Amino acid sequence: MTAADNETPLLPRVLQAYPYSWDNAFAWTSEEEDAETLAYARAVLEACLPAEPPAEPEPPAEAVLHDCSDDEYPEWTEVRAVLRERMPYARHVTAERMADAEAECARRGLVTNGFQEVWTRRISAWIAEQTLYWCGLMVDDEAALTPWLMDLAELYVQRGLAASKAVGALSCTKSVPESRAALARLATYDGLPEEIRESVEHELR
């Protein structure tokens, strides 16, 4: 399934070319660490970074669903399932498909306030999480990541999007002075959620 020519994309052009499903947390793990792939990873992170913190917190990358009955699943997981059916890849994230998903969610009695803005941002956040994870954990050539990954990861934490994976990327590259410096600055940054601050402080011990 591909987006029709007359549909209106909601994501930047660089994200429309994203070749992986946005809900696959390990999409990047088979990629080579060549200059072209690293340049694309950087472009993806730059495109996903919000200009300011979102008004509402993002949901986690995955829900903890062990031993849950059907009525205990977080509502956002049902919304994501609706989105996944209609727009499995970033190139499918269009105004028309988002409106269709919103109508389906309304039919199911799910919350749809600010639907297009909220869920376009959340899809961007999940793409950013995948990319931060790959850069931080899977790329061995830390010199090729310096300093752009550290700069972007710090901004992601400050702006409250993909923050946990951004701290993880800094943690995985702590042998690089730029990562340690970013963590030190974040430890004194006002406004971080308590769990993110604790994670940063843990990495500095």
Q: Dump pLDDT digits (tens) for 142-199.
A: 999 999 999 999 999 999 999 999 999 999 999 999 999 999 999 999 989 999 999 9
In eight-state DSSP terms, residue 60 is P
Q: Are 136 and 168 in contact (CB under 8 A)?
A: yes
Tell me whether residue 97 is in a domain. yes
pLDDT tens-digit series, residues 124-148: 999 999 999 999 999 999 999 999 9
Q: Give every CB contact of residue 95 below 8 A, 6+ residues apart in sequence.
A: 7, 8, 10, 116
Residue 131 has what pLDDT? 94
Tell me whether residue 21 is in a domain. yes
Q: Are 6 and 111 in contact (CB under 8 A)?
A: no
Tell me whether residue 151 is in a domain. yes
Tell me whether residue 162 is in a domain. yes
Residue 57 has what pLDDT? 67
Residue 70 has what pLDDT? 55
Residue 28 has what pLDDT? 82
Q: What average pLDDT score do residues 28-45 get?
A: 89
Q: Are 122 and 90 in contact (CB under 8 A)?
A: no
Q: Give every CB contact of residue 11 below 8 A, 6+ residues apart in sequence.
A: 47, 90, 93, 120, 123, 124
Tell me whether residue 8 is in a domain. no
Tell me whether residue 4 is in a domain. no
For 125, counting Cβ atoms within 10 Å of its Cβ (0-12 exposed, 13-18 middle, 19+ buried), the class is buried
Q: Give every CB contact of residue 103 below 8 A, 6+ residues apart in sequence.
A: none
Confidence of residue 4 (pLDDT cuts 50, 70, 90): low
What residue numbers bound the domain in which 23 lies?
13-204
Tell me whether residue 155 is in a domain. yes
Residue 26 has what pLDDT? 65
- Residue 27 pLDDT exceeds 90: no
Tell me whether residue 89 is in a domain. yes
Residue 6 has what pLDDT? 87
Confidence of residue 33 (pLDDT cuts 50, 70, 90): confident
- Residue 14 pLDDT exceeds 70: yes
Confidence of residue 31 (pLDDT cuts 50, 70, 90): confident
Residue 1 has what pLDDT? 43
pLDDT tens-digit series, residues 58-109: 655 555 554 555 556 788 889 999 999 999 999 999 999 999 999 999 999 9
- Residue 51 pLDDT exceeds 50: yes
Q: How many domains does the chain have?
A: 1
